[in-house]
Structure 1
Amino acid sequence: MNALPEPAEGSAEQAQAAIAEEFAFFGDWTERYQYLIDLGRKLPPMPDTDRTEANKVQGCQSQVWLVAGGDASRLDFRAISDSSIVSGLIALLLRVYSGRSATEILATEPRFVEAIGLAKHLSATRSNGLAAMLATIRQHARDALGPQGSTHP
């Protein structure tokens, strides 16, 4: 099996700062949505064998499948959606959270959502879906930590 790539940034907080910086280049939300769609198109394909009910994120209007691997010291996530904008949101979440320790995942609030103005520009259903994806990622982190993971929010 191939080694998984290291995250582009050294920490989840650095990833969030880089995302905020990238989105600051765009003048309007039409450009930002296009960038999100472009990010989603760069996600690696997910084999049909991983597109199972067990890997489906509950609470998303679009279909989203998320697969976690690793342990408490490093969790890696793969995910895909049938929606291009949601796939872009997934790409941002993976950039922040994939390849990080369970402790760092649980300690990192998704501040980039507010920093890039995404919170104001997502429909209610997409906001709920983003929250569901984040909750799934956090649950994988809590599970990886075992009994002490249940003490994290």
Structure 2
Amino acid sequence: MSDTAQESQAELIEEFEMFDNWMDRYQYIIDMGKQLPAFPDEWKTDELKIQGCQSNVWMRSQRDGERLHFDATSDAAIVSGLIAVLMRIFNDRPPAEIAATPPSFLEELGLDKHLSPTRSNGLHAMLERIYQVAKAEA
């Protein structure tokens, strides 16, 4: 893991530059999602479900000392990959750092242009949850 969320974003952007087309980028996102840690069924509650996503998404957060830890899952492959992208940037970071890190990767990777409107809405709903938790814990 990189030292800061900004560094993680920069590394991610650099990795995506290796791919010539969006089909390869989508496959990379899907592959990242396949590596998410297991998310127990007992965590799949209405309270942890993210509203605004077309597919089912659950996100759990907990404070671990000075850092926030997130666990999340989805029943859709691309969305699971988007979760993995978010976890790579924001997971296990101090709340103040999370809250102060703008999601510049969205524009720099072109995700806003290449995701369907429903996936984009879901991604923004997940980001909103991460920022809400970080601000509440800061």
TM-score by length of 2: 0.97
Q: Contact 1:103/1:141 (CA < 8 Å) preserved in 2?
A: yes
Does residue 53 of structure 1 match 2:46?
yes
Q: 1:132 to 1:10 in 2, by over 3 A?
A: same
Does residue 110 of structure 1 match 2:109?
no
After TM superposition, list the pairs within 5 Å mapping 1:1-150 onto structure 2: 8-70=1-63, 73-145=66-138
Aligned sequence identity (%): 51
- 1:71 Cα deviation from its structure 2 partner: 5.6
SS in 2 for 1:78: strand
Q: Which amino acid aligns with 2:2?
A: E
Unpaired stretches in structure 1, ≥5 consecutive residues: 1-7, 146-153
Coordinate RMSD, CA, aligned: 1.1
Q: Which amino acid aligns with 1:112?
A: F
How many angstroms apart in 2 are the aligned matches of 1:143 and 1:12? 18
- 1:72 Cα deviation from its structure 2 partner: 7.7
How many angstroms apart in 2 are the aligned matches of 1:71 and 1:99? 8
How many angstroms apart in 2 are the aligned matches of 1:128 and 1:93? 14
Larger Rg: 1
SS in 1 for 2:68: strand
How many angstroms apart in 2 are the aligned matches of 1:118 and 1:140? 23
Q: 1:72 to 1:132 in 2, by over 3 A?
A: farther
- 1:44 Cα deviation from its structure 2 partner: 1.1
Q: Which amino acid aligns with 1:99?
A: D
Q: 1:40 to 1:86 in 2, by over 3 A?
A: same
